[in-house]
Amino acid sequence: MKLIGSYTSPFVRKISVILLEKGITFEFINEMPYNAENGVAKYNPLGKVPALVTDDGECWYDSPLIAQYIELLDIAPALVPRDPKAALRMRQLESLADGIMDAGLVSVREQARPAAQQSPEELVRQREKITRALDALEAYTADGTLKADELNLATIAVACAVGYLNFRRVSPGWCATRPHLVKLVETLFQRDSFARTEPPKA
């Protein structure tokens, strides 16, 4: 099995963590999707990471679909409930975390543009998305919907999203008023799978 992606992508990290937690052996192929010669495009026509190539040569892309494919392999630990509605709720939480990743990526790309070309309105828009989503995750963690001691698709996605905010210094100070969310991600960050997938220091 091959995972095509970038060491700094939170979406790739999510899939890497899932594979490591399930003990699935895979080869990591480092491809930068924003390079002029985008090697990702031969795996995903959209040129986005991650992409997963199975031992049978099948290629899957888009991290929620890849996560679902891996779960269909029925390899422990199970990261999604068997009950369809419970699974749907968990995937909605994954979607919320993925939205934070998306907003973080847009913010980083916008700030990488020359100062005169940056859009303050776009940066505010993305920051507001992140703030609302983090507030929702804090509430879900406070009411027990998300639990710090449970490893599942939702908690993995949330920890990867927050890890990306920390890595890129997007939304600094996010943790000041969200103690339950802090506890959740700090618990996940202690796992070997997260230690092994920590983005490289610049």
Domains of the chain (ranges, CATH numbers): 2-72 (3.40.30.10), 84-196 (1.20.1050.10)
Per-residue pLDDT of 150-166, as tens digits, reads 999 999 999 999 999 99
Give the integer Cα–Cα distance in Å for 4 and 40.
7
Give me the numbers of helices (H) and strands (E) for the chain, helices first please: 7, 4
pLDDT above 90 covers a percentage of the chain that reads: 92
Per-residue pLDDT of 101-136, as tens digits, reads 999 999 999 999 999 999 999 999 999 999 999 999
Q: What does DSSP assign to residue 115? A: G
Helix (H, G, I), strand (E, B) or coil at 80: coil
Q: What is the pTM of this model?
A: 0.96
What is the DSSP secondary-structure string of 90-109?
Answer: HHHHHHHHHHHHHHHHHHHH
Q: Are 175 and 184 in contact (CB under 8 A)?
A: no
CB atoms closer than 10 angstroms to residue 78: 13
Report pLDDT for 202: 60
Is residue 15 very low, low, confident or very high in pLDDT (cuts 50, 70, 90)? very high
Give the integer Cα–Cα distance in Å for 10 and 125.
20
Give the integer Cα–Cα distance in Å for 31 and 56.
21
Report pLDDT for 201: 79
